Structure 1
Amino acid sequence: MLLAATLSVPTLAADNVLNNEEKAQGWQLLFNGSDMSQWRNFKKADLSDKWQIEDGAMKLAAGGGGDILTKKQYQNFELLLDWKIAEVGNSGIFVLVDETGNTIYAHAPEIQILDNERHSDNKLATHLSGSLYDMIASPASSHKKAGEWNSTKIRLQNSKLTIWQNGVQTAEVTIDSPEWQALLAASKFAKWDGFAKAKSGHIGLQDHGDQVWFKNIKIKELN
Structure 2
Amino acid sequence: MKITCLIACIACLPLLATAQKVSLFNGKDLSGWNIHGTEKWYVEKGELICESGPDKAYGYLSTANKYKNFVLNLQFKQEANGNSGVFFRSSIEGVKISGWQVEVAPLNSHTGGVYESYGRGWLIQPSAEAEKALKTGEWNKLKIQVIGDEVTTWLNGQQMIYFKDEKIGKGEGFIALQIHDGGGIKVRWKKFKLTQLP
1:221 aligns with 2:193: no
Distance of 2:170 and 2:95 partners within structure 1: 15
Separation of aligned partners in 1, 2:95 and 2:177:
16
On the 8 A contact 1:96/1:198 being kept in 2, the answer is: no
RMSD of aligned residue pairs (Cα, Å): 2.5
**Residue of structure 1 aligned with 2:114, choices 128, 132, 135:** 132
132-141 vs 79-88, which deviates more?
132-141
Distance 1:135 1:70 in 2: 24
Tell me if structure 2 keeps the 8 A contact 1:84–1:212. Answer: yes
Unaligned runs of 5+ in 2: 1-17, 116-121
Equivalent residue for 1:200, pick from 172, 186, 194: 172
Structure 1, 198-207 or 128-137: larger mean CA deviation: 128-137
Q: Does 1:41 align with 2:35?
A: yes
Tell me, in whole angstroms, the C-alpha distance in 2 between the residues paired with 1:77 and 1:25: 9
Among 2, 11, 23, which residue is 1:29 paired with? 23
Report what 1:81 is aligned to: 74
- Name 2:50's counterpart in structure 1: 60
TM-score (ref. length: structure 1)? 0.66
Identify the residue that residue 11 of structure 2 maps to in structure 1.
none
Distance 2:51 2:161 in 1: 30
Asked whether the 8 Å contact 1:113–1:130 carries over to 2, the reply is: yes
CA distance in 1, matches of 2:35, 2:80: 24
Overall identity of the aligned pairs, in %: 32
Distance apart, 1:206 and its partner CA: 0.4
Q: Which has the larger radius of gyration?
A: 1
Flag structure 1 segments of 5+ consecutive residues without an equivalent: 1-23, 117-121, 177-194
1:100 Cα deviation from its structure 2 partner: 5.5
> CA shift at 1:159, angstroms?
1.7
The structure carrying a bigger strand percent of its residues is: 2
Supply the distance in 1 between the matched residues of 2:94 and 2:159 (Cα, whole angstroms). 30
Cα separation, partners in 2 of 1:160 and 1:101, compared to 1, 3 Å:
farther
User: Hey, what does 2:12 align to over in structure 1?
Assistant: none
